[in-house]
Amino acid sequence: MINLFQMLQQNSPFFQELQIYDDGKRILDKSLRDKEGMEYYLISKKFIKQWKYYVDYDEEMEEIQLDPRQKPDKINSDLINNEKLFRYFPENHVYNSSIRYLENEWDYEFVLKKVYEYFNEIYQSIEPQIRVGFYNESLKRKQIFPNLARFTLIYQSPIDNKLYTAKAQVDYNSEIKAWTNLLRDTFQEQFKPKKINNVRVWCPRHKTFKADLLIQQMEKIKQVDGDILNENLIIFQMQSQRDNCIIIDLELNDWQFKKFEQTIEYDNALLLEKALYGCGKIVCEFPQCKLNNGYSDLGFAKEDIQGICQVLIENEEVKWELMCSKQKNITDNLLPFSVQIKTDPIQYLLKISQSLELFGISFVENYNKNQGIYQINPKNAEINSLLVLQIAQGLNQQKDNLMQIIKNLFQRKVEDIEPLTNLYQLRALYLILQFRNCLSKILDEKPFIILTVIRRLSQQQANQLSKWLTKLDKTELQQFQSITKKAIEQQINIQKNAPIRPLLDIDDIQRLKGLFDLYSVIYKSNIKNPRIPASEFIINSIQQFYKVDADRQEFTQFQIFNAKVWRGYSFTFCQYPWAMPIEFKSRLLSIECKVKQYDTRRRAYGIFPQFVSLTIERDNIIESAIKQLQQTQVSLKNPLKVQFVNEQGVDEGGPKREFFRLIMEKLVTPDYGMFIPKNNDTVFWFNPQSFEMPIYYSLIGKLLGLSLYNSVLLDVRFPTVLFKKLQREKLKEEDLKELDMETYTGFQFLREQTDPKVVESLGLTFNGTYKVWGENYFEDLKPNGFQINVTIENREEYIQLYIDWYLNKLVQKQFDLLKDGFKTVVDGDGIKLFSGEELQQLIIGLPTFDMKDLEASTKYDGYESDSEYIRYFWNCIHKLNVEMQKRFLFFCTGSDRIPVGGLKSIKFVIQKHGQDTEQLPSAHTCFNVLLLPFYKNKETLKEKLKISLDNAEGFGLM
């Protein structure tokens, strides 16, 4: 059946475009699955997004909007790059391309030739028209392999016989033979006066040597130290890393290169040269380099060193991939920047910024102590903060010089898509980020070099930055966090006010991702060494990023990201859930639940919503709930409705809340034996000696999940650690405080002792103990633990084993049953957005509240918000103590729990209910409506309100 939207669509002047695109998309998807031969064009994703919006076809829009639209940008605007690459396919082949290296898979979208040509008739296209594919000789058909390998080619020009390098790309799945044929045609076009008969590929014996070292080697020996690759190999069988070097050999009258046979002798000479003379750099990673080997300090003669090199080569102990090469640099005679530099500091920094490593060992703390020793400490960046601050103040007034330093350091890395390779380079990045006086300028510089470097950091490198940041004091970290947060908020504000839609440009996406990746480094550092409240990292403007249906649009991006189908992907904040407001995340979880419910109905060919319907006996509440939850054929993710036996009424929320209150009260009570009170009865924890049936713990898990999906807050005193365990968070010693303060403080006392005799006098063994209903139980923390005494040397092991035993192993069986029950209701990606503490807030509610929030959000029916009567009413409520205020909430809503978002998120109504009456105030708890009579005087209002609250107990239908 065609709906209204489809009818409007068919009447649109763009209907033919939509039809061609849709048909092409279906054929394309099928051809990719079946690997059929077709011509595939790349179209910028920015164009596709703009085009969909222009023709009212965006999947996120529910209705046609007739406002004037901006015509889409050029088709290939995101795919133009001036980087000189060997062409992927020469012009005389079926496919032609000047394709750049695509950093992200979602930069572009594949379309069929027909779709591209139709677009090209209507919209402007930038040359070259980019096509990718692979012509497989054996299969005689064209196939698409968008997964590209990248190499640095070393070749000898037949014009001047000099060695040159170039970047080249090729499908992982293509054969060497097919690729060399393409290279032959490419070289032939480049060197037209010369006849290129054929091309072959040499793989260097030392596969990870850099291009400069290989060229140096080849110029010296005039041959190739390697082997010719079998032309029947597939590219991925080369097992190469990105940008590894290979040597291209051109056949003119004869081949240019021959194999170098004297490899062992040459290796000896090569290694001896490095051991005796080094590379001349300030820092070097090659262990056998003169800078690192220490042979001279030990007084070894040349003959001794030669013998050592020979043994190292014979035992294959040389790390050739770290081999250094001697280079003449502008920084060769310069020292790292320190307090001893007396020249113009800015000009000196400009000089040493020509070397990442030299810059990376600058600003060293205690320079005199460390002079000549340039080993970087992974645990402490050892930065002279005062010197950094002084230079940052100077650079803040010299933006051009600051930008030039950044370009000198990192621009080549960015352009060549090269990663940072060592701690010296990473420390250089860390130093730039420490210039906090000009950090805003650094993060805002164009073309965003620093953000690009940060975005390309490996996980290990990002973790290393976090480790170094743990050494910053609270003020320093707050300044760093505040500047980065402000930069993110500015970007969000710019994007949400975009004239068409946010994040249409790939550059905008990458800029925002770079900022968030930096923000993530700061956040993880704060986790390791807490100095800033976690709430300070939350960015509330995320909720307003999309102008319409923000939660639904964010959820769509989240789904695409998790599915790794990049066709419609831009960016999702859900990669950084700790920065998202909990209210926004809870809405995403609600959408996910509704989507799952819809999918369930669709698979069952249902049309109308399905409910988990429970008919509950008040006197047999647990057994009736267990039986029905086990037998229901309806997914527990569906909405819950509760009917009490022999009680009239339709569940609009009240009976449901009453059900949860009664059943949890019974299950968690100590009399039932499943949980025991801990920490002076402030919380309830699993009873390790419980004999209840496993199904009861599973039931509690299901109830936690059902309450979450039905927005019912539970009045249960479960500790935060239980919810952390549900979210698979790593537990810490601090988590013990909420359960057992006595044990926690005992561990602190044990750590503080410096006298071994005091520790021994405590008489502790590797044995855990717990008490249930006055009876003591014991368990070994490790085999024969009761026979192993705790000493000052092994006390840390004892503490860690005890914590793991107490929080995990001791209650493993009970917790696993509860967790399994919870997971039968709650699964998917949405729940992963929440920390354990946030999950606790979703299920149990917030620990504190302010009645002024409820007053501010209240609506009125029959009263005016500013009337004297209403003002007096709220004055009475505000004067109540916390316990009575909770009674008021329970009386009006059926629950005294505070939802995520606080009382301002409750839709509360005060309705006028009679005048000059003796009737008490009452409430429709299902709808959060207080029925308030208009009494003749204030004293009567106060008295009647007190009577109602004093007797607020249980649930009654009106």
Angle (CA) 830-835-839 rounded to 5° is 75
Dig out the tokens for 210 from the structure: 């850099």
Helix (H) or strand (E) holding 185: helix 176-190
The one-letter amino acid at 923: A
Dig out the tokens for 788 from the structure: 């192993």
Phi, psi (deg, nearest 5) at residue 435: -75, 65
Residue-by-residue DSSP string for 290-344: HHHH-TTTTT--HHHHHHHHHHHHHTT---GGG-------TTTTPPPP-TT--S-
3-state secondary structure of 164: strand
Helix (H) or strand (E) holding 6: helix 4-10
For residues 115 and 131, is the Cβ–Cβ distance under 8 A? Answer: no
> Which residues lie below 8 Å from residue 454, measured CB to CB, with a gap of 6+?
429, 514, 517, 518, 521
Dig out the tokens for 140 from the structure: 């005689």
Phi, psi (deg, nearest 5) at residue 849: -155, 165
Q: Is 926 a catalytic residue?
A: yes
Partners of 132 in the β-ladder: 40
Partners of 245 in the β-ladder: 152
> Which residues lie below 8 Å from residue 16, measured CB to CB, with a gap of 6+?
none
Residue 763 CA, chain-centre distance (Å), reads: 47
Phi, psi (deg, nearest 5) at residue 902: 80, -175
Q: How many CB atoms lie within 10 A of CB 389?
A: 14
Nearest to 599 by CA among 819, 823, 827, 820: 827
Torsion of CA 492, 494, 500, 503, to 10 degrees: -50
Rounded Cα–Cα distance for residues 896 and 44 (Å): 53
Dig out the tokens for 167 from the structure: 């970047």
Burial of 650 (0-12, 13-18, 19+ CB in 10 A): exposed
Phi, psi (deg, nearest 5) at residue 573: -70, -15
Q: How many CB atoms lie within 10 A of CB 298?
A: 9
For residues 353 and 395, is the Cβ–Cβ distance under 8 A? Answer: no
The tokens 């953000």 sit on which residue? 451
912 half-sphere exposure, CB direction, 13 A CA radius = 14
For residues 164 and 190, is the Cβ–Cβ distance under 8 A? Answer: no
The tokens 């649009």 sit on which residue? 553
Partners of 683 in the β-ladder: 678
Q: How many CB atoms lie within 10 A of CB 187?
A: 20
Helix (H) or strand (E) holding 351: helix 345-352
For residues 809 and 788, is the Cβ–Cβ distance under 8 A? Answer: no
Report DSSP state, residue 224. Answer: B
Angle 113-122/15-34 helices, nearest 10 degrees?
150
Partners of 772 in the β-ladder: 775
Q: How many CB atoms lie within 10 A of CB 39?
A: 17
Give, rounded to a whole angstrom, the gap between the first and last alpha carbons of the chain: 44
Rounded Cα–Cα distance for residues 670 and 420 (Å): 58
User: Which ranges constitute the DSSP H helices of 845-910?
Assistant: 851-857, 868-879, 882-893
Rounded Cα–Cα distance for residues 590 and 826 (Å): 11
Which sequence positions are flagged as catalytic? 926
